[in-house]
Amino acid sequence: MSSRLLRPTFRALRGIPPTTIPIPTRQFRTSSPKMAVQELKSVEQFNTLIASKPLVAIDVWAQWCGPCRFISPVFEKHSESDEFKDKIVFAKVDADEVPDLSQELGVRAMPSFFFFKDGAKVSDLDLVGADPGRLEKGLKTLIE
């Protein structure tokens, strides 16, 4: 019985063209591109970066490291902040992907942060651990 009811309705609707329902769209715009944290994939890329930029901050991290995942957004936020974005180049190194660079930097634990001024490592500012306050203090000291 139900097929009898549906069949005439279906035949009647077959001649009507399908309608489109307009879906509102929203476009997103950004005011200006934000400075991204550079991903270093080799020792050569690292050497080129510190030789060509006066101030460099490097975050050495690993995917399996919980504290690295905690501090990473803080590091990225500083790279976009007005206080640091035009003064310091921010870079990240995955310790498991570039073990030679981790060894060259003397990584003992993760996360580790290293700061370079005019191509030379500023040893006084080396930071081990996920401490947002000490990270910000190190960045401020670097630009002084």
Question: Is 68 a catalytic site residue?
Answer: yes
Q: What does R_g of the chain's alpha carbons equal in angstroms?
A: 27
Q: Which of 49, 71, 44 is nearest to 60 (CA)?
A: 71
Which is the catalytic residue, given 68, 98, 105, 142?
68
Which is the catalytic residue, given 40, 57, 65, 127?
65
- H or E stretch at 34: none
Question: Measured between alpha carbons, how far is 104 from 65 in angstroms, rounded to an integer?
Answer: 20
Sequence-distant (≥ 6) Cβ neighbours of residue 86 within 8 angstroms? none
56-80 b/e with 16+ CB inside 10 Å = b? bbbbbbbeebeebeebbebbbebbe
Question: Is 65 a catalytic site residue?
Answer: yes
- Where in the sequence numbering do the catalytic residues fall? 65, 68
